[in-house]
A and B are shown apart, each in its own frame.
Chain A
Amino acid sequence: MGQHSSNVTLSNQSPEPVLVREEQIASPDSNSLESHDPMADFYQLQRSLLLTTLALTGIFTFPVWYFFSPNTAFNYLVGAITGLVYLKMLAKDVERLGQQRLGAKGLGIFVILILVASKWQQLHILPVFLGFLTYKPAIVIYTVKSIFWSAEKSENDA
């Protein structure tokens, strides 16, 4: 008993005495838990969404410049950058969910943008609004990509 007392414990809670090793009580999967960050998927998604939105902004700006006017392209760019900031703030809100409630700071930025666009002659509402919505195709692209990627992965596993 004296030899085993260092790493064997008797449980008093159960009706039958159960031998439980101390290394089992101290977390058995501590190494595997440390190696996998549970938030890694979220950060990867956030980075992917921001980069895709940035790429789409660059891709759409040149056709708008070519087919409409430089001023319209500038409007689109302003809206797209505001959409990027809005997406970043939404991701920050989701990251802090649990410690604080969801805010509406992103909507405030959008309201300011539309107010400026309606008052300032250089900005027009429609291209600014369409630029702001550039993050939506980025979300659709990410979702479609993840669906195909998971289908391909399950085919490879089978």
Chain B
Amino acid sequence: MDIQAASVIAAALAIGLAAIGPGIGQGNASGQAVAGIARQPEAEGKIRGTLLLTLAFMESLTIYGLVVALVLLFANPFV
């Protein structure tokens, strides 16, 4: 297998695997936040604030995978 084909497969694996965990985590966090807001509407601001912080950290994991994939595809140092 040449380097280019291996890079394309590696890019697909990088973004695909990096999206699974944060995707599950974000879905869980958002669902729990909406349930919490429905239970305690007076704490809506605090719940949404905490959700913003957690989503920012979770999405950065996807971003790392995305960077690796994009570098492999468009700025591959091995080609």
Contacts and interface: CB of A to CB of B under 8 A. Distances in A.
B55 interface: yes
B23 to A, nearest CB: 10
Contacts of B37: 98
Contacts of A94: 48, 51-52, 55
Contacts of A139: 53, 56-57
Interface of A (DSSP majority class)? helix
Interface stretch (A17-25, A61-69, A112-120): A112-120
Interface of A: 33, 36-46, 49, 87, 90-91, 93-95, 97-98, 102, 106-107, 110-111, 114-115, 118-119, 125, 129, 132-133, 135-136, 139, 142-143
25 contacts: A33-B42, A38-B41, A39-B45, A39-B48, A41-B45, A43-B45, A45-B49, A45-B52, A46-B49, A90-B59, A91-B52, A94-B55, A97-B30, A98-B37, A102-B30, A102-B55, A107-B62, A107-B63, A110-B63, A118-B75, A119-B74, A132-B63, A135-B56, A139-B53, A143-B53
